[in-house]
């Protein structure tokens, strides 16, 4: 039990009313006024307008930020967000995710595009390396799809590699995913993921604690990672090298008491170092979607969507992904995964990912570590 005093909380009504919301929009754009520093200011100045006035008088922040605080127009920032299709969600609003208040430094506000953040669906974060391996990306797509089919929201950071594949898996399965940006709400980073971010906003949510136009600078990404962890019930780490953002997100999750899962990789792979370290320190090892759903207590695809409840048949016209089709083609009798992988000419992680997808569709079942095609009823 820690003897540290409880962290201060945001004063009630801190951002209530148009003037305070405009002031909050300015405060969110001041680099030296971190959420933790703003929280400390709010103890003495209990509204966003009062906090901003204190900074403008020179009481807090860097000289550059004090000058910016005097120059910026909060109403213009709110209008710029609206032009980008975003809204400002302030602490105290009904839409503000209460799980973020578990953070040591919860954001005072978020700029949000797309669906609301108050969904009761469980949220699971998937994070990992930007320069991911093909196997890691395949497993991630399967994990994102499985969570989506089970009704969970998939949280990630819209970066290259594992983040992008987590979002893709959820979207391709018709699910909901949430992207947390390390840049302004209207700044796609990396640029090649702009289309992906638009897809996410169309069916899920894109959010940032930074106002429109804010550049993606290195120090913003560790800050972004705490929000990813704070939004989630659990965090899954697929790949990550030593010192990567994956470990930062996992550390935040552990501090918050969230469940942490890790996908193991070869001990000689640099990308396996974060997952293996987490497993050694007590994180739960998962081999694929089945393990994750079982450990989270989530069910697979709902009845009528290729699940065992409708006889294990996939909907008419649905084409299986290439790896799943390859596994189905070689699966006969009851086989261990190593045999299936050898027959299909796939790596073990890709085979496990394919089997996970097939099991969610009700086309394959596992018994005692072996896989087989279930008998159809009747």
Query: What pTM does this model have?
Result: 0.80
Query: Residues in the chain, how many?
Result: 378
As its CATH architecture, domain 123-296 has 3-Layer(aba) Sandwich (3.40)
CB 169 within 8 A of CB 161: no
Domain with CATH 3.40.50.450 in the chain: 123-296
What residue has token string 């949510």? 205
Q: What is the CATH number of domain 309-372?
A: 1.10.10.10
Q: In a structure prediction context, what are the per-residue pLDDT tens digits for the chain, which is 378 residues long?
A: 445 455 679 999 999 999 999 999 999 999 999 999 999 999 999 999 999 999 999 878 899 999 999 999 999 999 999 999 999 999 999 999 999 999 999 999 999 999 999 888 999 999 999 999 999 999 999 999 999 999 999 999 999 999 999 999 999 999 999 999 999 999 999 999 999 999 999 999 999 999 999 999 999 999 999 999 999 999 999 999 988 889 999 999 999 999 999 999 999 999 999 999 999 999 999 999 999 999 999 976 543 333 333 333 444 445 788 888 889 888 877 788 888 888 888 888 888 888 888 887 888 888 767 788 775 433
Element (H, E) at 363: none
Q: Where do the CATH 1.10.10.10 domains begin and end in the chain?
A: 309-372
State the SS3 of 143-158. Answer: HHHHHHHCCCEEEECC
């Amino acid at each position: 039990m820690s003897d540290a005093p409880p962290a201060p909380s945001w004063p009630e009504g801190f951002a209530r009313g148009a003037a305070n919301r405009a002031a909050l929009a300015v405060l969110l754009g001041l680099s030296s006024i971190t959420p933790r520093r703003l929280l400390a200011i709010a103890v003495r100045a209990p509204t966003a307008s009062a906090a901003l006035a204190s900074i403008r008088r020179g009481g807090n922040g860097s000289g550059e930020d004090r000058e910016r605080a005097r120059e910026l127009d909060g109403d213009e920032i709110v209008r710029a967000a609206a032009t980008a299709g975003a809204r400002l969600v302030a602490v105290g609003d009904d839409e503000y995710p209460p799980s973020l208040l578990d953070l040591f430094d919860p954001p005072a506000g978020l700029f949000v595009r797309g669906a609301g953040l108050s969904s009761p669906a469980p949220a699971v974060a998937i994070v990992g390396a930007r320069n991911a391996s093909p196997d890691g990306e395949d497993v991630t797509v399967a994990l994102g799809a499985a969570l989506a089919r089970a009704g969970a929201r998939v949280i990630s950071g819209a970066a290259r590699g594992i983040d992008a594949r987590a979002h893709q898996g959820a979207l391709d399965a018709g699910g909901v995913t949430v992207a947390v940006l390390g840049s302004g709400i209207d700044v796609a980073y990396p640029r090649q993921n702009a289309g992906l971010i638009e897809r996410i906003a169309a069916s899920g949510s894109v959010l940032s604690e930074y106002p429109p136009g804010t550049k993606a600078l290195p120090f913003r990404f560790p800050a972004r990672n705490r929000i990813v962890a704070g939004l989630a019930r659990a965090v899954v780490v697929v790949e990550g090298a030593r010192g990567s953002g994956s470990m930062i997100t996992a550390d935040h999750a552990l501090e918050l008491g969230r469940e942490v899962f890790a996908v193991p990789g070869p001990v000689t792979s640099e990308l396996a170092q974060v997952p293996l370290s987490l497993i050694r320190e007590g994180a739960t090892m998962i081999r694929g979607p089945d393990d994750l759903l079982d450990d989270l207590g989530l069910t697979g695809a709902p009845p009528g969507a290729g699940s065992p409840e409708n006889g294990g048949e996939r909907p008419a016209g649905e084409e299986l992904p290439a790896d799943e089709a390859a596994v189905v083609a070689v699966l006969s009798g009851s086989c261990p995964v190593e045999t299936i992988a050898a027959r299909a000419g796939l790596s073990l992680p890709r085979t496990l990912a394919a089997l996970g997808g097939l099991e969610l569709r009700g086309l394959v079942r596992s018994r005692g570590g072996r896989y087989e095609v279930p008998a159809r009823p009747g």
